[in-house]
Amino acid sequence: MRAEIISVGTELLLGHTVNADAAHVARELSALGVDLLQVQTLGDNGPRLEAALREALGRAEVVITTGGLGPTDDDLTKETVARVANVPLEEDADSLARLREYFGSRPMSSNQRKQALLPLGATAFPNAVGTAPGCAVPVGAKGWVLMLPGPPSELLPMLRQSVVPFLADKGGAVIASFMVRSFGLGEGAAALRIAELTDKANPTAATYAGDCEMFVRVTAKAPDVDAARALALPVVEEVRRRLGSVVYGVNVESLEAVVVAELIRQGKTVATAESCTGGLLAKRITDRPGASQIFGYGLVTYANAAKMRLLGVPEDMLRVHGAVSPEVARCMAQQARREYGADFGLGITGVAGPDGGTPAKPAGLVYVALSDAQHVWLRVMRPQGRYLGRERTRRLASSHALDMLRRCLAGLPVEDDWALENNGTAIG
């Protein structure tokens, strides 16, 4: 099966909104074994969209549009697709009922109600979090246009809950897909380790660079679920074996999800003390349901005075070594654990940049420490090549902290040189 993606929205062309939708859809198509031929981005212009749809349907069996399904006058996708399919729009009863449920006692205007209009013969895709339903519209003898809303918060649930099963059914086979998630090894290094596995046609294995992480998606296609899983699982296990302890889970949501779940399972708690990350580590932990069971205290001690007052970092230590130092990071982790009664303490201090660096302590230098009742471990992130920016530095530092705790909870070495070859260097 061949597919194309058409992202609709003038805000995309102006750069006001980043087109994350195309990436989300492309990943799911890849997992389904669908060949993606082309991705286009168009403004809110009916004639241009109509021309693009007709051209795309000449090349592919499936065209997926994102955006243009809302209540405003410039939301033209449904009308344009109906014109291409040569069918009228009609009110879908289930979609209207969901709209009424969404608005509750609030009035629903006529332009909001128009979102329940779908091309005749369409298969509706319910919107779990918003107002505009998606749908699949048959066009001609073999073609389909699948329309999805633009906001990623609405698109992603619809993509996974409705679109993936729809396309899997049309493909005549069942797909089993496993995402092996890792932290601490770059995509290039990982690709070398699993090179022999990525040449297979079924199952397939492909590497993806994530947000300071790296993923390997293993996908198998077979007549039924059990057969597809039987094909994929040996490859998943081989990927895990070759990548080693950098793998933190398979088909898990995130590094913080794994850490919080394991803390809950073991009945352990953690406290955090952050400087350059400004509370990002605490946010990632408390984003997870159940975090209140394992997390009670998170301090942002940006100023030296805060480090002294809230954590008891000695003034002499700050004067002699500076706030960005191994000594202060260790002290922050120890004091967070001791002062706030946790099983583990995490401390982060560094130069997030782009300003504030010196030759001795350049932008991007960060110290991350983990403490339990017996030990204190330390990692240092040293800039390697070009400075990659404030946001990435902060995100990477918080990921190192979570990974150190994950390893400790799993009984793995916390300071593992080869695991950090692309993201920093561990020191004792």
Compute the half-sphere exposure of residue 133: CA atoms within 13 Å on the CB side of its CA: 27
Contact 353, 389 (CB under 8 A): yes
Residue found under tokens 């080869």: 418
Residue found under tokens 């695991």: 419
What is the reported pTM? 0.79
Question: pLDDT digits over 52-83, tens only?
Answer: 999 999 999 999 999 999 998 889 999 999 99
> How confident is the model at residue 170, as a pLDDT?
85
What is each CA distance from 260 to 85, 266, 333, in whole angstroms? 49, 10, 18
pLDDT at 112 over 60: yes
Please report the beta strands in 235-343, taking only residues with DSSP state E, as ranges in sequence order: 247-250, 270-274, 295-300
> How confident is the model at residue 419, as a pLDDT?
42
pLDDT at 381 over 50: yes
The alpha carbon of residue 123 and the mean position of all alpha carbons in its chain are separated, in whole angstroms, by: 28
With residues binned 3-state (H G I as helix, E B as strand, rest as coil), the percentages for the chain, rounded to 5, are 45, 25, 35
Question: pLDDT digits over 119-152, tens only?
Answer: 999 999 999 999 999 999 999 989 999 999 999 9
Confidence of residue 428 (pLDDT cuts 50, 70, 90): very low
Among 236-250, 351-365, 406-420, which stretch is predicted with the lowest mean pLDDT?
A: 406-420
In the chain the first and final C-alpha atoms are separated, in Å, by 53
Q: Which domains does the chain have, with CATH numbers?
A: 2-170 (3.40.980.10), 174-250 (3.30.70.2860), 255-410 (3.90.950.20)
Contact 145, 166 (CB under 8 A): no
Averaged pLDDT, 73-94: 95
| Closest CA relative to residue 27, chosen from 204, 237, 246 | 204
> How confident is the model at residue 60, as a pLDDT?
97
Question: pLDDT digits over 10-22, tens only?
Answer: 999 999 999 999 9
| Closest CA relative to residue 41, chosen from 27, 23, 59 | 23
